[in-house]
Amino acid sequence: MSNELCFSSVTELSARLADGEVTSVEITRALIERTESVEPRVRAFTHRDAERALAQAKAADERRAAGEARGPLDGIPISVKDVLASAGEPLTCSSRMLENFVSPYDSTVIERLKRAGVVLWGRLNMDEFAMGSSTENSAFHPTANPWDLERIPGGSSGGSAAALAAGEAVATIGSDTGGSVRQPAALCGVVGLKPTYGRVSRYGLVAYASSLDQVGPLGRCVDDVAVLLGAIAGHDPRDSTSVDVAVPNFAAEAREKRGPWRLGLPKEYFGDGLDPEVRAAVEKAVDFYREQGCEICEVSLPRTEYAVATYYIVATAEASSNLARYDGVRYGHRSEKASDAIDLYFHSRAEGFGQEVKRRIILGTYVLSSGYYDAYYLRAQKVRTLIREDFNRAFEQVDALLTPTSPVPAFRRGERTNDPLAMYLADIYTISANLAGIPGVSIPCGFTASGLPIGLQVLGKPFDESGVLAIARTYEQTHDWHTRHPEL
Ligand code: GLN
C-alpha cells in the first residue's frame, strides 16, 4: 500500500484525498518511509525534516475535515530543489558557500505552493549553484540515477528527477537555465517542464543566469506538471521580468486541445552525436504523431551550432556578476583566515566555491572584461537574437517542434567530470530554448536495451505551455513508459 502511494500521481492522490480514501498524513508517512529505505542509495536530498512535513500534512487533513480544503494540491507533498528560498529551511544551492544558510523568507513559488496547501517534503540535491548536467558538482554528494545507480541522474536538478523516479517524492520543483529540468527528467524517465521566460516568478530563486533562469515542475505525468505550473505561474511585482499575462487552466487546456498539429523536426537536432537508440525512440514517437494525423515537416534552426558557445558566454557572464554577492560579509561562508577585507573576500570565495563555479566565474569575468567584451559578450548577445529569430521563423510554419531532450541516455558517474566540454554538450538540445525564452517539456518516450529512460522534447511558442502540454499528453495517453518504475 505505502509504495503504491509513493508512485501515485498528484492527480490520483488528489482524487483519493477528496474521496476521503487516504489522508495527507498517510501519504507523507509513506514517502518518509520509502525515502528512509532507498535514500542511502539514491541520495537525492540535501535536507529533510519529517516532523515538519507531518505537521503540515496534519494541518491539511484538518482543513479538509473542516470543509476548507484549498484545491487539488492541498495536502500533496512537494519536494523542492535546494535553490528556492523557503522560510526557516536550509537554502544551500548544494554549495559550501551556503552550507549553513537558512532562508529568512519565502520565494514567490514557495509562497504560492503554501497557499495551495502543499506539504513541503525536503530539499533536493543539485549541481552547485545549478551549474552542471550531472549533479556531480554538488559540494555534498552526487545523486544516483534510480535506473542504474552507477549512472548520473542528469542535472542540475538531478535530485528533483531522481527523488521522483525513486518514489521518494510525488512531484518536485526544479530550475532550468539551460536544460536543468528537462534533461534530468529525460534521464530519469519522468516529465519536466521549462515554462516561458517570465511565466513564473524568479523572486527568491537563487540567481545563476538571470536572463535564462526559470522555475519548472517535474512530475510523473503531464497532468501533474500542468497542475503544478498552474499553482506557481503568474505575474509577480517582485520580479520585474515576470510577465503580466493571464494564467490559463493549463491542465484543462491540455486535455481539451486535440490537434492535429503541424510539428517540425529541426534537422540540426538529428545530426552527429545523437545516440542511435535515442534517435530510434524519438523517431518512433514522431511516427506516432504522424499516425494521429499530425503534419510532420523538417525545419531548420541554422544557428543551432552556435548555441552552446553563446550560452556559455551569456550564462557565465551573468553568473560572474550574480555570484559577486558572496563575499563572506553579509551571509554565506566566511573564512577564518582573513586578515583584512580583501583577504576576507579572497579566502571566503576560494574556500566556499567549488571548481566548476570558479571556472564559470573566471570565464564570465573574462568575457565581460574590457577589450574582450565586444568580441565575446556583445557578440553572444547578437547571436542570441539570431537564435530567437530562428525559432520565430520555425513557428511561422509549425505549432511546435519535436526533438530528443538529451543526445545520450544517462552516462556513468565520473565519465565526463574531467572534460567540461563533453559535459557542456549534454545540453545541446535544451539550451536554445532558454536563449529564446520559449517553453519546453520532456516526456518519457522509451528505454534503451540496457533499461535507461529516453526523453522526447516538445518546444513551443512563447506562453503556449498549454499547447506543448497537450501535444505531450496526446502521446502519453497511449504509451505507458511513464508508469514504469526502477527496481531499487
Ligand atoms: N547544464 C547547464 C549548465 O551547466 C544548464 C544548467 C541549468 O539549466 N541550470 O549551465
- Domains by residue range for the chain, with CATH: 2-256 (3.90.1300.10)
Cα–Cα distance list, 117 to 70, 71, 73, 300, 480 (Å): 6, 8, 6, 44, 30
Give the pLDDT score at 422: 83
Closest C-alpha to 106, from 97, 138, 116, 77: 116
Distance CA 122, CA 168 (A): 10
Atom nearest to 181 CA in ligand 1: 8
CA 133 to ligand 1 center in whole angstroms? 6
Q: How wide is the angle at C-alpha 123 spanned by C-alphas 118 and 128, nearest 5°?
A: 140
Query: Which phi-psi region, left, alpha or beta, contains residue 386 (left: φ > 0; alpha: ψ -120 to 50)?
Result: alpha
* pLDDT of the residue at 16: 98
Q: What is the pLDDT of residue 386?
A: 98
Other Cβ atoms less than 10 A from the Cβ of 373: the count is 14
List the chain pLDDT tens, one digit each, 488 residues: 578 999 999 999 999 999 999 999 999 999 999 999 999 999 999 999 999 999 999 999 999 999 999 999 999 999 999 999 999 999 999 999 999 999 999 999 999 999 999 999 999 999 999 999 999 999 999 999 999 999 999 999 999 999 999 999 999 999 999 999 999 999 999 999 999 999 999 999 999 999 999 999 999 999 999 999 999 999 999 999 999 999 999 999 999 999 999 999 999 999 988 999 999 999 999 999 999 999 999 999 999 999 999 999 999 999 999 999 999 998 899 999 989 999 999 999 999 999 999 999 999 999 999 999 999 999 999 999 999 999 999 999 999 999 999 999 999 999 998 888 888 888 999 999 999 999 999 999 999 999 999 999 999 999 999 999 999 999 999 999 999 999 99
Cα–Cα nearest to 261, from 286, 224, 226:
286
CA distance 211 to 435: 8
Q: How many CB atoms lie within 10 A of CB 340?
A: 8
Condensed to tens digits (0 to 9), the pLDDT of residues 308-367 reads: 999 999 999 999 999 999 999 988 999 999 899 999 999 999 999 999 999 999 999 999
Ligand 1 pocket, residue 214 CB under 6 Å = no
Task: Compute the distance from residue 424 Cα to the ligand 1 centre, in Å.
Answer: 8
CB of 133 closer than 6 angstroms to any ligand 1 atom: yes
**pLDDT value, residue 423:** 86
Q: Give the Cα separation of 290 and 294 in Å (integer).
A: 5
Report how far residue 121's alpha carbon sits from residue 98's, in angstroms, rounded to the nearest whole number: 20
DSSP-derived 3-state class of residue 123: strand
- pTM, whole model, 2 decimals? 0.98
> To test the ligand 1 pocket, which listed residue (82, 131, 214, 424) has its Cβ within 8 A of the most ligand atoms?
131
| Ligand 1 pocket, residue 409 CB under 6 Å | no
Residue 139 CB neighbours (<10 A): 21
Q: Which of 252, 201, 243, 199 is nearest to 223 (CA)?
A: 252
CA distance from start to end of the chain: 17
Q: How far apart are CA 141 and CA 435, in angstroms?
A: 30
Q: What pLDDT was estimated at residue 159?
A: 98
Cα of 311 from ligand 1 centre, angstroms: 9
Cβ contacts of residue 463 below 8 Å, gap of 6+? 196, 199, 243, 245, 439
Please answer whether residues 351 and 338 qualify as being in contact, where contact means their C-beta atoms are separated by less than 8 angstroms. no
The rounded Å distance from CA 161 to ligand 1 centre is: 15
C-alpha 322/C-alpha 316 separation (Å) is 10
For residues 154 and 296, give the distance between their C-alpha atoms in angstroms, rounded to a whole number.
29
Ligand 1 and 428: CB distance under 6 A: no
